[in-house]
């Protein structure tokens, strides 16, 4: 809203009422369905992040938790700088940074999920200690910023994504052990204690072999699970999952801990064969984010990749919809192309699919750093029609492109955006913002 703001007591009261209706055990755990598009006018009161990049956002009860590479934040409308390294929280109603939540995390926070108690959070990333105690890459932190010692999970590497469904915590990244037991980049834990679920032993393996002959290390880039906690989508740099051929993407049945028959060859991950690598040679994986629809009937994948073939056949630099009940060797229902720019994040709400990155255009299949006839200018953020995949041209707030919007989160009070730039919807919102419900 910013310069165009018409913020008033009635609006604030309505927001508080919305937040009071959100179950704290669910907020921050799964995407939230929306009845309408969000407003294109950002809310005024979100804090400003003065450096680094916001990479993780979780709306949990009356708070929003934010993670990334930053060290300093400031409340909206003030100048007093607040030291907050890698993790902080702010009040959803007032937007003020929570003064009593100042955990000492010594490395980047990549992902945040609500813990089962509805007030604590589980954070994941590239850190080694929390509040001076060794707690590598995973930790539960309570509402006061204290490390929850009862949650004892740890890995020997780093974690890119953590998600919670019921009593399960799913973690993915690059590691070979969890709690001292062998696990190949993917594991399931108890959501209260962090104990390893020994039934779940599915690993991801075999990183991409580049044209130079270099064999890259496999890793999970991102994940999402449907709201029921049944289907888990895993994306990243791999060619096998649970010993089965799955290139860069796989569907797993969480309750039975088995790889599901769903598969596709549309994201090839090698330099040879019928389905050879199609994207730019610099990338270990083209996959960037995945998100289930609120009803779980489909999911959307966004990618990087350079689009060397102008997206005539490839899924580089695209958003693509996939049906959850699709067959083996599935193909996408539709794709939307940027014309050579990365999409980093996606959030589905039922009425729209929001995508963020450093894109200049949408609806630009056939373009390569140029706009084709019929393309749509949507710098840094945009919305797609879930049925057709076409850009929703009535919603186009724009944002300074930078490296890109690395996090989009749909919540009851709107769409949260995390990035590395300072302009959102034509207003100053440093690296963090919210588009409220319209």
* Rg of the chain (C-alpha set): 20
Give, for 174, the enclosing helix (H) or strand (E): strand 168-174
Residue whose structure tokens are 């890259």: 216
Among 347, 337, 402, 345, smallest CA distance to 376 is for 337
pLDDT over 60 (residue 154): yes
**What confidence tens digit (pLDDT) does each residue in 202-253 have?**
999 999 888 778 889 999 999 999 999 999 999 999 999 999 999 999 999 9
Q: β-pairing, 181-182 with 158-165?
A: unpaired
Average pLDDT over every residue of 10-21: 39
Average pLDDT over every residue of 150-173: 98
Residue ranges per structural domain of the chain: 2-435
Torsion sign over Cα 152, 153, 159, 160: negative
Worst-scoring range by mean pLDDT, 38-42, 267-271, 309-313?
Answer: 309-313
Average pLDDT over every residue of 351-373: 97
β-bridge mates for residue 290, sequence order: 301
**What confidence tens digit (pLDDT) does each residue in 306-351 have?**
867 777 789 999 999 999 999 999 999 999 999 999 999 999 999 9
Among 296, 204, 308, smallest CA distance to 259 is for 204
Average pLDDT over every residue of 276-282: 77
Torsion sign over Cα 228, 230, 235, 237: positive
Give, for 302, the enclosing helix (H) or strand (E): strand 298-303
CA distance 342 to 377: 15
The pair of three-digit structure tokens given for residue 386, joined into one six-digit string: 């879930």
pLDDT over 50 (residue 7): no
List CB contacts of 95: < 8 A, sequence separation 6 or more. 43, 44, 45, 46, 47, 75, 76
pTM (two decimals)? 0.93
What secondary structure letter does DSSP report for 3?
G
pLDDT over 70 (residue 198): yes
What secondary structure letter does DSSP report for 155?
B
List CB contacts of 163: < 8 A, sequence separation 6 or more. 29, 111, 113, 169, 170, 223, 224, 225
CB atoms within 10 A of CB 309: 13
Secondary structure class of 4 (helix, strand, coil): helix
List CB contacts of 33: < 8 A, sequence separation 6 or more. 294, 295, 349, 350, 410
Give, for 16, the enclosing helix (H) or strand (E): helix 9-20
CATH code reported for the domain at 2-435 = 2.130.10.10
- 2 backbone dihedrals φ, ψ, rounded to 5°: 45, -125
**What confidence tens digit (pLDDT) does each residue in 45-87 have?**
999 999 999 999 999 999 999 999 999 999 999 999 999 999 9
Distance spanning both ends of the chain, measured CA to CA: 11
β-bridge mates for residue 159, sequence order: 173
pLDDT over 50 (residue 18): no
């Amino acid at each position: 809203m910013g310069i165009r703001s018409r913020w008033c007591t009635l609006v604030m009261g309505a927001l508080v009422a919305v937040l009071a209706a959100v179950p704290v055990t669910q907020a921050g755990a799964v995407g939230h369905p929306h009845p309408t598009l969000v407003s294109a006018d950002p809310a005024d009161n979100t804090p400003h992040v003065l450096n680094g990049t916001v990479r993780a956002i979780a709306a949990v009860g009356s708070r929003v938790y934010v993670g990334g590479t930053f060290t300093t934040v400031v409340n909206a409308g003030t100048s007093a700088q607040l030291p907050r390294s890698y993790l902080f929280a702010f009040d959803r109603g007032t937007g003020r940074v929570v003064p009593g939540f100042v955990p000492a995390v010594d490395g980047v926070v990549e992902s945040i999920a609500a813990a089962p108690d509805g007030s604590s959070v589980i954070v994941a990333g590239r850190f080694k200690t929390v509040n001076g105690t060794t707690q590598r890459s995973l930790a539960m932190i309570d509402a006061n910023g204290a490390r929850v010692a009862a949650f004892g999970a740890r890995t020997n590497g780093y974690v890119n994504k953590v998600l919670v469904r019921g009593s399960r915590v799913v973690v993915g990244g690059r590691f070979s052990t969890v709690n001292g037991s062998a696990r190949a980049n993917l594991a399931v834990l108890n959501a209260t204690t962090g104990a390893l679920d020994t039934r779940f032993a599915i690993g991801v393996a075999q990183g991409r072999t580049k044209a130079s002959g270099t064999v890259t290390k496999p890793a999970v880039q991102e994940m999402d699970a449907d709201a029921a906690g049944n289907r888990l989508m895993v994306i990243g740099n791999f060619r096998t999952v649970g010993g089965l051929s799955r290139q860069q993407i796989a569907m797993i049945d969480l309750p039975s801990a088995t790889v599901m028959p769903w598969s596709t060859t549309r994201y090839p991950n090698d330099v040879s064969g019928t389905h050879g690598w199609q994207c730019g040679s610099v990338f270990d994986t083209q996959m960037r984010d995945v998100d289930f629809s609120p009803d779980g009937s489909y999911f959307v994948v966004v990618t990087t990749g350079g689009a060397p073939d102008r997206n005539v056949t490839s899924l580089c630099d695209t958003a693509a919809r996939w049906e959850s009940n699709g067959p083996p060797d599935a193909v996408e229902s539709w794709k939307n192309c940027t014309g050579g720019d990365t999409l980093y994040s996606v959030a589905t709400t039922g009425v729209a699919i929001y995508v963020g990155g450093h894109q200049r255009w949408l609806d630009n299949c056939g373009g390569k750093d140029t706009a084709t006839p019929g393309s749509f200018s949507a710098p840094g953020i945009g919305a797609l029609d879930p049925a057709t995949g076409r850009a929703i041209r009535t919603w186009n707030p724009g944002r300074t492109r930078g490296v890109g919007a690395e996090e989009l989160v749909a919540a009851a009070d709107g769409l949260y955006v995390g990035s590395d730039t300072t302009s959102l919807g034509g207003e100053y919102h440093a690296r963090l913002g919210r588009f409220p419900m319209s």
